[in-house]
Amino acid sequence: MKNNLLPDLFTLTAIFEGMEDAVLSHDLDYIILNCNTAAEKMFRCPAPVLLGQNILGLIPESVRQEQLAILERVWSGERVNHLYTVRNDKLHVDFPVSLTISPIKNEEGEVIGASHIMRDVTDERDTEEKRGMLAAIVENSDDAIISKTLNGIITTWNGGAEKIFGYQERETIGKHISILIPRDRLSEEDIIIENIRNGNKVDHFQTVRLHKNGSAIDISLTVSPVKDRHGTIIGASKIARDITAAKKAETAIRHQAEKLKILNTIGKAISEKLDTESILQKVTDATTQITGATFGVFFYNTINQDGEAYMLYSLSGAPKEAFENFGMPRNTAVFHHTFSVEGVLRVDDITKDPRYGQNAPYFGMPEGHLPVVSYLAVPVISSSGNVVGGLFFGHPEAGVFLQEHEDIVVSLASQAAVALDNSRLFTEVKELSQKKDEFIALASHELRTPLTSMSGFLQLLERKVIDVNRPFVAKAITQLKKLNALINDLFDISKIQSGKLQFYFEEFDFTGLIKENLEAIREAYTSHEIYFEESGEMILEGDKMRLDQVLTNLVTNAIKYSPESDRIEVSAKRSETEIQVSVKDYGIGINEENISHIFSQFYRAKDVNSSITGLGLGLYITKEIIERHGGRIWVESEARMGSTFFFVLPLKKRNSVNSHLRKKEEERV
């Protein structure tokens, strides 16, 4: 009966051949007696070659001794199960195997050989190695790597997670992931799980999670689906990177950039502005913004002997009404500090400061005053050392103003002080300049009257005088003419200043005017030859008298500033639209430094010999006249090489004149 249940030889052979594991048997002398197809494949050697060989040939040197010892145990009847060892194939390539060796016994029960069942475990070993490597990476990662089921139950927790979230592994496994999620962000988890269920990864999602101690941590989250071997999504693995430091740095950089921007604009604004009000408002606004104060105020230091109030000047962050109900701050212990030489006062909680609350009538902040706990006050000190005023900042929380805020306000306060000094100087200069203009206007007017009568009397005298005295009278007349010209220049200047220099436009031949003008100059000045290169008639619309004045100025200057030469060249040519005139001399020339200034009023080149007199007005008036005609004037010159003055005038100038007038008008506004 029993035998009937045993498989027959054919069946056994079929099983033997069909096995995926390699099977070899050998006798006590290690000679291979049997092998199956899987063994042929494993050792890359056909059965006829394998059979009759010594099995030790398939065992690498490194493990041979150990194998022989095992076989000794088999000879004593023992079976060795699932031993991990190495074999090498026909090509002497080593590979890992899982080996089971059983003794083969004869009918008497004596061991006559052994059977080896071997499974190539190369793949398993690789997988195992990879797993080990991954586990090491996970464990050693600074990022938190956590896996959880689709229901949010935490299943793994690495060292990084411990460091970032403060929980130990044992405290989290089996708990719900929501222990890490702030209340107001719980819905994020649903969205993440929804994505995971659909097989989607959530990449670098920046959010906030909670530390064990309840503090919020900025993190960047990447969540990927975890699949089982059948590809079914069974959970999620999340990698959380702590980006608190990066976020902090980012915020710090942003704040810094904002600060720089404010500083830059404010620096520019206050150096450009010359009116006190806008300088102080800008400084108050910027410093309030930079310090993060609830409000900022600038008070002028106008306190009198009796300790009367400082003057509120500009305010930022709060409406003026917020201060209107109380009198201005008086010379209290707290305020005195800023306006005296004691300097900056920065206090984390002013209400706890010993100086606070000492003075009547309020003994502290009056009721209804904006709450002030953090307090910063910086004096604004002028270059002469006077405390012009003070910048004050308040905040209802303690410890808001830091050293860096103080430093910035101090630096802006000193810039503001310079700007205020400039503004004061500018106002003074403006007033003085106005006084000067008024004086010139008055003086030139007053001088003209006696001069006109003197001129009349001299002309009468000239006719009546005896021959011997005539040259003296003539000289007096020449000098009087010079004086008259100077006073006329002064008179013109005051008219230009007040915008009252009048023009009478008419059409005339400009070449004709030049000729007449030069003729008159030739008569008066015999020291120089004046050459004129003309190009025929040039009809122009302009103020004849004023253009005559221009020519006189340029040609007499050319004579005056070329004492060692005797040649002046004048030329005039016209194009379709304009006339260009040049006056060239071979005199002292003008160096580069002076060229840009000579058209300004009262400017005279510094290196001009003092014997050449003048007021520095001619070119200023000349330029004004040319520009009022819509033209341009410039000079080309080199020291000691002579100068050439050029001007161009449009033939029809109405439009350009109008635009020039508009420009002047705008400048005045």
> 83: Cβ–Cβ under 8 A, 6 or more apart, which residues?
70, 98, 99, 100, 101
* Closest residue by Cα to residue 159 from 145, 170, 178, 180: 145
Of the two residues 476 and 612, which places its CB atom closer to ligand ADP in the complex?
Answer: 612
Question: In b/e form, how buried is each residue of 158-185, taking b as 16+ CB within 10 angstroms?
Answer: bebbbebbebeeeebeeeebeebbeeee
Instruction: Name the packing angle between helices 403-464 and 470-497 (round to 10°).
Output: 150
Window contacting ligand ADP (CB under 6 A); options: 6-14, 185-193, 587-595, 624-632: 587-595
| Angle (nearest 5°) at CA 134 between 132 and 138 | 115
With CB under 6 A, what is the number of residues at the site for ligand ADP?
A: 22
Q: Does 561 bind ligand ADP (CB under 6 A)?
A: yes
199-206: long-range contacts, CB 8 A cutoff, minimum separation 24: 199/225, 199/233, 200/225, 201/225, 206/243
Q: Does 182 bind ligand ADP (CB under 6 A)?
A: no
Window contacting ligand ADP (CB under 6 A); options: 92-100, 436-444, 472-480, 557-565: 557-565
* Closest residue by Cα to residue 24 from 120, 115, 119, 98: 115
CA 626 to chain centre: 46
Q: Does 558 bind ligand ADP (CB under 6 A)?
A: yes
Among 117, 540, 617, 626, binds ligand ADP (CB under 6 A): 617
The answer to whether the CB of 601 falls within 8 A of the CB of 565 is no
Among 619, 625, 648, 657, binds ligand ADP (CB under 6 A): 619
Q: Does 487 bind ligand ADP (CB under 6 A)?
A: no
Of the two residues 210 and 570, which places its CB atom closer to ligand ADP in the complex?
Answer: 570
Of the two residues 284 and 562, which places its CB atom closer to ligand ADP in the complex?
Answer: 562
CA 550 to chain centre: 52
Question: Which two tokens mark 536?
Answer: 């025929």
Residue 536 exposed, middle or buried by CB count within 10 Å (0-12, 13-18, 19+): exposed
Q: Does 331 bind ligand ADP (CB under 6 A)?
A: no
Among 160, 390, 394, 587, binds ligand ADP (CB under 6 A): 587
SS percent in the chain: helix, strand, coil, step 5 = 45, 25, 30
Q: Does 585 bind ligand ADP (CB under 6 A)?
A: yes
Among 37, 75, 616, 632, binds ligand ADP (CB under 6 A): 616
Give the span between the Cα atoms of 233 and 608, in whole angstroms. 97
370 secondary structure, DSSP code: P
Among 590, 625, 633, 657, binds ligand ADP (CB under 6 A): 590
Quote the least distance from Cβ 531 to ligand ADP, whole Å.
Answer: 16
H helix runs in 273-332, sequence order: 276-291, 321-324
Interaction pattern, residues 624-653, with ligand ADP; x per rule: CB under 6 A: -------------------x----------
Tell me the chain's radius of gyration from C-alpha atoms: 53
Window contacting ligand ADP (CB under 6 A); options: 92-100, 457-465, 538-546, 588-596: 588-596
Quote the least distance from Cβ 637 to ligand ADP, whole Å.
Answer: 7
Give the span between the Cα atoms of 177 and 160, in whole angstroms. 16
Q: Does 582 bind ligand ADP (CB under 6 A)?
A: no
Q: Does 57 bind ligand ADP (CB under 6 A)?
A: no
Amino acid at 12: L
Among 68, 442, 615, 641, binds ligand ADP (CB under 6 A): 615
Quote the least distance from Cβ 486 to ligand ADP, whole Å.
Answer: 9
Quote the least distance from Cβ 491 to ligand ADP, whole Å.
Answer: 15
Q: Does 608 bind ligand ADP (CB under 6 A)?
A: yes
Quote the least distance from Cβ 483 to ligand ADP, whole Å.
Answer: 14
Quote the least distance from Cβ 432 to ligand ADP, whole Å.
Answer: 22
User: Which segments of 518-611 are extended strands (E)?
Assistant: 529-533, 539-542, 567-574, 578-585
Among 225, 389, 394, 618, binds ligand ADP (CB under 6 A): 618
Quote the least distance from Cβ 603 to ligand ADP, whole Å.
Answer: 6
Q: Which residue is nearest to ligand ADP (CB)?
A: 614
Question: Which two tokens mark 640?
Answer: 């000691």
Of the two residues 116 and 528, which places its CB atom closer to ligand ADP in the complex?
Answer: 528
Interaction pattern, residues 516-555, with ligand ADP; x per rule: CB under 6 A: -------------------------------------x--
Q: Give the interface with ligand ADP as residue ranges (CB under 6 A).
A: 553, 557-558, 561, 585, 587-590, 598, 603-605, 608, 614-620, 643
